[in-house]
Amino acid sequence: MTSLPLIPVDPDAPGARRAAMPPQHLADLDLAGRKDLVTKLGESAFRARQISTHYFGRLVRDPAQMTDLPASSRDRLADQLLPRLLTPVRELACDDGATRKALWRLHDGSLVESVLMGYPDRVTVCISSQAGCGMACPFCATGQAGLTRNLSTAEIVDQAVYLAGVAASGKVAGSPPRLSHVVFMGMGEPLANYNRVIAAIRRLVAPAPEGLGLSQRHITVSTVGLVPAIHRLASEDLSVTLALSLHAPDDELRDELVPVNQRWKVCEVLDAAWAYAARTGRRVSIEYAMIKDVNDQPWRADLLGRLLAGKLAHVNLIPLNPTPGSRWDASPKPVEREFVRRLRDAGVSTTVRDTRGREIDGACGQLAAAEDSGTDPAGEMTA
Ligand code: SF4
């Protein structure tokens, strides 16, 4: 049994860690806030719109390319509104370049990762919301190192904007050049950094120049099941998809696999998920890592089927990704197929996730942000 994680659910609560946050960036602010800031700097308010158009609309961050801004104020505006938040350390690629994992160093030396996945009809980025994670799921590489700190809104948004630039550069062969989907499934528990994640979603979906202009329906927020935060998310009037990392249908096992279950039990977490589905009309994605001889027994498939039958839910089975030194293994394929069959027989929509990025430790549960993974870099990231 793993002890309860110590991270506060609300990072803005008294006592929450606030240290080492980065300088303010335009993506921390809405357009009105940017206009206020620019005005305080002695510039015309419309400069905020111009610089925002470069960043969100044209994916340009180099002041030298912002030739519609007067040379006398360009660098000063860029210093104040576009401080460098992410320094590319390494980019690894696999799947013929269609999957790319980026490792970034933050201003305080923290390391985070993001993954870009190109498909024929869409480009998805998986972004991190925290440096590390305090949720301590024992099968997850990120969870083993603990939480370093929450990311700022702009640090979260900048991962997507940067990788949108990589997609726009045509580096992801066989995929459209425009980023279309964002999943909060990288490092961290998004709902434990609630306010900043919600602000980041609002930037991602606001049309340019306020934001990146993505569809709300193309954003997925993953959680291990922080019940009060799920209810709060439902009240935001956002049509984002909720992905619930369930991983076990019974409390005895889930208490071990997802330690936060010691606080909010399976029935409470599922009730919150159904409340979210009812409020938003969005189908909830139930994430279930298939772990050999741990959670893959036929009786657990039947129990999961009974819990989900008739609900607005889809099960996404995830073949467990190997992590160095882990005692956990992926379920054998015949066991996985039987699990799928039983869920479908119960009337539950079920698919098995592909294992994109496995070779570069970019798959689910593998993001550990090690600076030296022993793998050769695929090249410097250029957006
Ligand atoms: S599975 Fe998700 S919530 Fe659990 S430790 Fe890993 S990153 Fe954190």
Is the pLDDT confidence value at 174 over 70? yes
For residue 86, the 8-state DSSP code is -
260 ligand 1 Cβ < 6 A = no
143 ligand 1 Cβ < 6 A = yes
189 ligand 1 Cβ < 6 A = yes
135 ligand 1 Cβ < 6 A = yes
> Mean pLDDT, the chain, as a whole number?
88
Mean of the pLDDT values across residues 26-55?
96
224 ligand 1 Cβ < 6 A = yes
Is the pLDDT confidence value at 369 over 80? no
pLDDT of the residue at 356: 67
Domain ranges within the chain, ordered by starting residue: 26-82, 87-360
* Cα 246 to ligand 1 centre (Å): 11
pLDDT of the residue at 199: 98
pLDDT of the residue at 208: 95
Ligand 1: which of 112, 114, 140 to mutate, judged by most atoms within 8 Å of the beta carbon?
140
112 ligand 1 Cβ < 6 A = no
The enclosing H or E element of 150 equals: strand 147-150
Is the pLDDT confidence value at 19 over 60? no
Atom 4, ligand 1: residue with shortest CA distance = 137
Distance CA 290, CA 292 (A): 7
How many CB atoms are located within 10 Å of the residue 297 CB?
15
- CATH class of segment(s) 26-82: mainly alpha
pLDDT of the residue at 327: 85
Annotated binding site for S-adenosyl-L-methionine: 188-189, 222, 245-247, 321
**Token pair for 217:** 């329906």
Q: Is the peptide bond before 209 cis (omega within 30 degrees of 0)?
A: yes
Mean of the pLDDT values across residues 319-332?
83
Ligand 1: which of 113, 139, 142, 230 to mutate, judged by most atoms within 8 Å of the beta carbon?
142
CA atoms 197, 222, 112, 16: torsion sign? positive
142 ligand 1 Cβ < 6 A = yes
The enclosing H or E element of 319 equals: strand 313-319
* Cα 2 to ligand 1 centre (Å): 13
113 ligand 1 Cβ < 6 A = no
Q: Of residues 302 and 319, which shows the higher confidence score?
A: 302
Q: How do strand 284-290 and strand 181-184 relate by DSSP bridges?
A: unpaired
Ligand 1: which of 6, 9, 115, 133 to mutate, judged by most atoms within 8 Å of the beta carbon?
133
Confidence of residue 367 (pLDDT cuts 50, 70, 90): low
* Cα 346 to ligand 1 centre (Å): 28
Could you tell me if 45 and 38 are in contact, meaning their C-beta atoms sit under 8 angstroms apart? yes
Q: Of residues 346 and 140, which shows the higher confidence score?
A: 346
Q: Which tens digits make up the pLDDT trace of 54-101?
A: 999 999 999 899 999 998 889 999 999 999 999 999 988 888 788 999
* Cα 120 to ligand 1 centre (Å): 29
Annotated binding site for [4Fe-4S] cluster: 133, 137, 140
pLDDT of the residue at 372: 46
Is the pLDDT confidence value at 376 over 50? no
Q: Which tens digits make up the pLDDT trace of 122-173?
A: 999 999 999 999 999 988 888 888 999 999 999 999 999 999 999 999 888 8
Determine the number of helices (DSSP H) and then strands (DSSP E) in the chain.
11, 12
Catalytic residue among 43, 91, 113, 287: 113
* Cα 180 to ligand 1 centre (Å): 24
HEC profile of 172-211: CCCCCCCCCEEEECCCCCHHHHHHHHHHHHHHHHCCCCCC
Is the pLDDT confidence value at 381 over 80? no
Within 8 A by CB and 6+ apart from 363, the residues are: 321, 355, 356, 357
pLDDT of the residue at 365: 53
Domain 87-360 is found in CATH 3.90.1200.10: no
Categorise residue 158: left if φ over 0, alpha if ψ from -120 to 50, beta otherwise: alpha
Do domains 26-82 and 87-360 share one topology? The answer is no
- In percent, the amount of the chain with pLDDT more than 70 equals 87
Q: What is the pTM of this model?
A: 0.90
Is the pLDDT confidence value at 241 over 70? yes
* Cα 223 to ligand 1 centre (Å): 8
Q: How do strand 349-352 and strand 313-319 relate by DSSP bridges?
A: parallel
First to last CA, the chain: 44
* Cα 275 to ligand 1 centre (Å): 23
Is the pLDDT confidence value at 377 over 60? no
Is the pLDDT confidence value at 289 over 60? yes
**Annotation says 364 is catalytic:** yes
Dihedral, 48, 50, 55, 56 alpha carbons, nearest 10: 90
Backbone torsions φ then ψ of 72, nearest 5 degrees:
-65, -30
Ligand 1: which of 129, 189, 191 to mutate, judged by most atoms within 8 Å of the beta carbon?
189
